[in-house]
Amino acid sequence: MISQYAGISPKRDLLLLNTLGKAFKGKTFLHVNSTRAGGGVAEILHRMIPLLNSLGIDARWEVIEGDQKFFDITKKIHNALQGNMENITEEMWEYYYEVNKRNAKNINLEADGVLIHDPQPAPLINFKKNGKWIWRCHIDLSKPSPEVSNHLEPFCKKYDAIIFSVPKFARAMATDEFIVPPSIDPLSEKNMELTEEEIKGVAEKFQIPLDRPILLQVSRFDRFKDPIGVIQTYRKVKKYNDCVLVLAGSPATDDPEGEAVLEEVREYAANDPDIHILLLPPFSDKDINALQRMATVVFQKSLKEGFGLTVSEAMWKGKPVIGGAVGGIPLQIVHGITGFLIHSVDGAAFRTRQFLNNPLMAKRMGETGREYVRRNFLITRQMRDYLSLWYAVENKDKGIVFEL
Model pLDDT, residue 168: 79
Question: Within its chain, how far is the Cα of 304 from the centroid?
Answer: 12
Work out the average pLDDT over 91-107: 95
Distance between CA atoms of residues 243 and 223, nearest Å: 24
Distance between CA atoms of residues 400 and 404, nearest Å: 13
Can you give the residue ranges of every domain in the chain?
2-183+378-398, 196-376
Residue 400: band (very low, low, confident or very high) from pLDDT cuts 50, 70, 90: low
Whether pLDDT at 154 is above 70: yes
Model pLDDT, residue 404: 40
User: What is the residue-wise DSSP string for 36-61?
Assistant: SSSSHHHHHHHHHHHHHHHTT-EEEE
Average pLDDT value over all residues in the chain: 92
Model pLDDT, residue 395: 85
Model pLDDT, residue 170: 75
CATH topology match: 2-183+378-398 vs 196-376: yes
Residue 47: band (very low, low, confident or very high) from pLDDT cuts 50, 70, 90: very high
Percent of the chain with pLDDT over 70: 97
Distances (CA, A) of 363 to 191, 236, 317, 366: 18, 23, 11, 5
Residue 358: band (very low, low, confident or very high) from pLDDT cuts 50, 70, 90: very high
**pLDDT greater at residue 177 or residue 233:** 233
Domain 2-183+378-398 is found in CATH 3.40.50.2000: yes
Whether pLDDT at 403 is above 50: no
Helix, strand, or coil (residue 32): strand
As a CATH number, domain 196-376 is 3.40.50.2000
